[in-house]
Amino acid sequence: MLKTDLDKIGKFSQCDFDRLTRYLVQRQLGKNDILLDQGQICHAVYFISSGSAYQFRYEDIEEKVTDLHLQNEWCLNYSSFISQAPSQNIIKTNSETTALELNVTAIHELIAQSPVFLQLGKILEGVTTRTYCLDNSMSPSKRYNDLIKNRPLVLQMFPLKLIASYLNMTPETLSRVRSCF
């Protein structure tokens, strides 16, 4: 599935794909394992080959979900990765998960070997476009409708409490909105 995903972001020959896979490190993670902790610097991007993960930060004592990562999606803390500054967020698995890790050093080495790997930057674009649900100018119904239209698997993979937080609404509001669909 990784090859299919890479083909969506650029033109990678089989040789390029083989070169990339030599740099990937497979990580087997249990439910609630931490991929990135608050205060750590994000040194890698992860391709979720099975399972799911979510990204959050603490606001007071509540978890504020900032992203939900599904199978066959890339996962990283964008701001920490780009700035190489400590992360304000935590990335935690929601289920048993297999992730393919590509660290920043490997990315630089790949780019040095072939400019075709500059296309990996499109991974970052994809991750940042998923934050559309965080737009508070949209009504709760619109946010939920966009979610079920664009990412229906989220409803199967994550508990409603996490989905509500991701959509910037209370679980009660999410329940009301869902009853209208």
| Residue whose structure tokens are 């190489």 | 84
Torsion sign (Cα): 142, 49, 59, 179: positive
How far is it, in rounded angstroms, from Cα 30 to Cα 93?
7
Q: Report the pLDDT value the prediction gives residue 130, as an integer from 0 to 100.
A: 57
Q: Report the pLDDT value the prediction gives residue 7, as an integer from 0 to 100.
A: 82
Instruction: Quote the pTM value.
Output: 0.89
Classify domain 2-132 by CATH number.
2.60.120.10
pLDDT tens over the chain, length 181 residues: 888 888 888 888 999 999 999 999 999 999 999 999 999 999 999 999 999 999 999 998 899 999 999 999 999 999 999 999 999 999 999 999 999 999 999 999 999 999 889 988 887 776 665 555 456 678 999 999 999 998 999 999 999 999 999 999 999 999 999 998 8
How far, in Å, are 49, 56, 101, 113 from residue 1 at the CA level? Answer: 8, 26, 15, 24
E strands of the chain, at which residues?
Answer: 25-29, 34-36, 44-50, 53-59, 62-69, 74-75, 90-93, 97-103
Task: Note whether 79 and 34 are within 8 A (CB).
Answer: no
